[in-house]
Structure 1
Amino acid sequence: MVFANYIAMCLIFGTTFLAIKVGIDAGAPPFFSAGIRFFLAGLILFAVMAWKKQAPLSILLRKEMVFTGICLTFGVFATLYWAEQHLSSGIAAVLSATAPLMVMLLQTGLSRQKLSASSWAGCLIGFGGVILLLLPGLTFSFSMLWVAGCIAVLFGQVFYSAGAVYSRRVSQQFKDVSPITLNAAQMMYGGILLLIASAFTEQVHMEFLLSPQAVLSLLYLIFVGSMMGHTIFYWLVAKTNPVFPSTWLYISPLIALALGVALYQEPLYLSSLAGGIAIIAGIVMINWKTLQQLVAKKAPIRHAESPTK
């Protein structure tokens, strides 16, 4: 059951990037569709948890939920949805996989601890992978929007890294509150901020809802991507440990890359493929000790970061 749910989670998170791309290509305004997705997903999840008496309404009045919503939902997905207007879903997914690298660099900077040789090597390999991913937009068909999209996704992961580090402290502060409830609350706030951004920057014409692709994309992202994916993630945390479910970051980007090419005829350059593999290899090297502990079934118990896809 654990293995089956793990595979399902990797597939879900791997398909969300393509679902975002399909919706945007069908005319869905990026900020508006992202805002609707996360506000409704958070609202439904929070209502379910409240019905189970596991979601105190007072949690919605805490500033911590606003801060995590800014970082883990608004900052990450405002940039991702905007970027997928100009990037393939596979490239966006692989660039999003740099999040653990940025989390490690931020934690190291805050704690002033020295990195191991393998971690430094992983950083360099991961950085090299990002450069390889950028090459097609710089050489084969120079596009400032391509480069801007790549930079936007990477900038979103800076928000994610700050939110991931901060959310660990929040989860310690609210030990008696379910992680699903905390995640639902921050998604609601993030969704509201995305809708506010849409109101100031986009002209929303509801005709996009007449497109079956746009509607199916939105429904899939709400119920499968946000609600089902996150629920499986926290179920795996409860059944295994906080480390194991997070390894989806090593698998889902490559799933997204393959799906984009196979199902959506997205272009794939050899340098992009090499860059994607290099980024994943770098992340594995950075987390090598943790993965060894996981294999040995001695992974330290830490509070899991909220999944973002």
Structure 2
Amino acid sequence: MSAANMLSLLVLGAIWGGSFLFMRVAAPEFGVFALVELRTILATLVMLPFAMAVGGWRALGQYWWQIAFIGVVNTAVPFVLFNYSSLHLEAGINAILNATAPMFGAIVALVWLGDKLSRSAVAGLFLGFVGVALLSAHRVGEGDVSFLPILSACAATFCYGIAACAMKRWLVGIKPIVVAFGSQFYAAIALVPFSLATLPTVMPSALAWTNAVALAVLGTGIAYILYFNLIASVGPAKAITVAYLVPLFGILWGLLFLNETLSLQTLVGGVLILLGITLTTGVITRLRRVKP
């Protein structure tokens, strides 16, 4: 991997890790639905020229219901769920839980697509869910957080797993940037009634607006473009390693900007989750097979 691609990977990890900080600050003032509406609209505008440059309108018309499904399952529902969990959980905790998406993807692929799980993948699932259980027990045990926000974050990553399998089943050959753009577009449409019904009664502060715009433009629009450029440059096996950087940056930004704390139990749970993802996805094996 070249220095430029390595830098892109680090920047992408920093941006996606920062997304949980942005949600943590903006969600209390905007509300869970209005924030996602703003996020999807601005992200759609950012990705519009890139999607249209590769003939996006044709794919949006031809595969409208498949992309709309992705928009609901991969964008609207998980974004709302993470906004809710960010009202109760630290940015670092949410970033760690977000990393469970590949594990849920493996389970959905087993049931829906008939993909087989190796012994190492099964071991990875076990370790990953032990990490989630450890993390959950610690947070709930503190007494100030119920299990519902943790369940909400895990439900969001389960949605990501469904969406990944749906794309593999229905949208092979469609430009990823078109699917990303379309998912934001259809999600924005789907959330209109919910957003209008829950608009904030008080104008959000300048700080909340800054974080909301950063979440939309940086954390969604520009981040998707960086990610797909990485896939084109170094391949999906190496690009997916950004999943291991997101929790690290999420924790770092939370510590630096929100004065969050990192307990030993949280650290152990996070390490188990990351180790579980490594085994479940077989990323190490794939990286060894990829020629430099």
TM-score w.r.t. structure 2 length? 0.91
- The amino acid of 1:18's aligned partner reads L
Q: Taking structure 1 as reference, are residues 203 and 38 closer, same or farther at Cα in structure 2, changes over 3 Å only?
A: closer
Q: Give the aligned partner of residue 115 of structure 1.
A: 117
For 2:78 and 2:209, the matched residues in 1 are separated by 22
How many residues are matched? 288
TM-score w.r.t. structure 1 length? 0.87
**Would you say 1:21 and 2:24 are equivalent positions?**
yes
Q: Deviations over 1:13-51 (max 9, x none)?
A: 1111111111124x121210111111221133124532x
Q: Deviations over 1:66-104 (max 9, x none)?
A: 101011101211100111111111111111111100100
Match among 76, 79, 89 for residue 78 of structure 2: 76
For 2:178 and 2:245, the matched residues in 1 are separated by 26
> 1:21-170 to 2 correspondence within 5 Å?
21-25=24-28, 27-50=29-52, 52=53, 54-56=55-57, 59-60=60-61, 62-112=64-114, 114-144=116-146, 147-170=147-170
Q: Deviations over 1:149-171 (max 9, x none)?
A: 00001111121111110012333
For 2:242 and 2:51, the matched residues in 1 are separated by 25
Q: Give the aligned partner of residue 9 of structure 2.
A: 6
Residue 114 of structure 1: CA displacement? 4.5
> 1:238-277 to 2 correspondence within 5 Å?
238-277=232-271
Residue 136 of structure 1: CA displacement? 2.6
Q: Which runs of 5+ in 1 are unaligned?
A: 300-309
Residue 199 of structure 1: CA displacement? 2.9
* Range with greater deviation from structure 2 (68-77 or 162-171): 162-171
Q: Taking structure 1 as reference, are residues 260 and 269 closer, same or farther at Cα in structure 2, changes over 3 Å only?
A: same
Q: Which runs of 5+ in 2 are unaligned?
A: none
- SS of the residue corresponding to residue 110 of structure 1 reads helix
**Would you say 1:207 and 2:208 are equivalent positions?**
no
Q: Taking structure 1 as reference, are residues 102 and 53 closer, same or farther at Cα in structure 2, changes over 3 Å only?
A: closer
For 1:148 and 1:36, the matched residues in 2 are separated by 25
Structure 1 vs Structure 2 CA RMSD: 2.0
- The amino acid of 1:69's aligned partner reads G
Q: Taking structure 1 as reference, are residues 238 and 108 closer, same or farther at Cα in structure 2, changes over 3 Å only?
A: same
Q: Give the aligned partner of residue 220 of structure 1.
A: 214
* Range with greater deviation from structure 2 (191-200 or 232-241): 191-200
For 1:76 and 1:242, the matched residues in 2 are separated by 22
Counterpart contact for 1:35–1:193, Cα < 8 Å: no
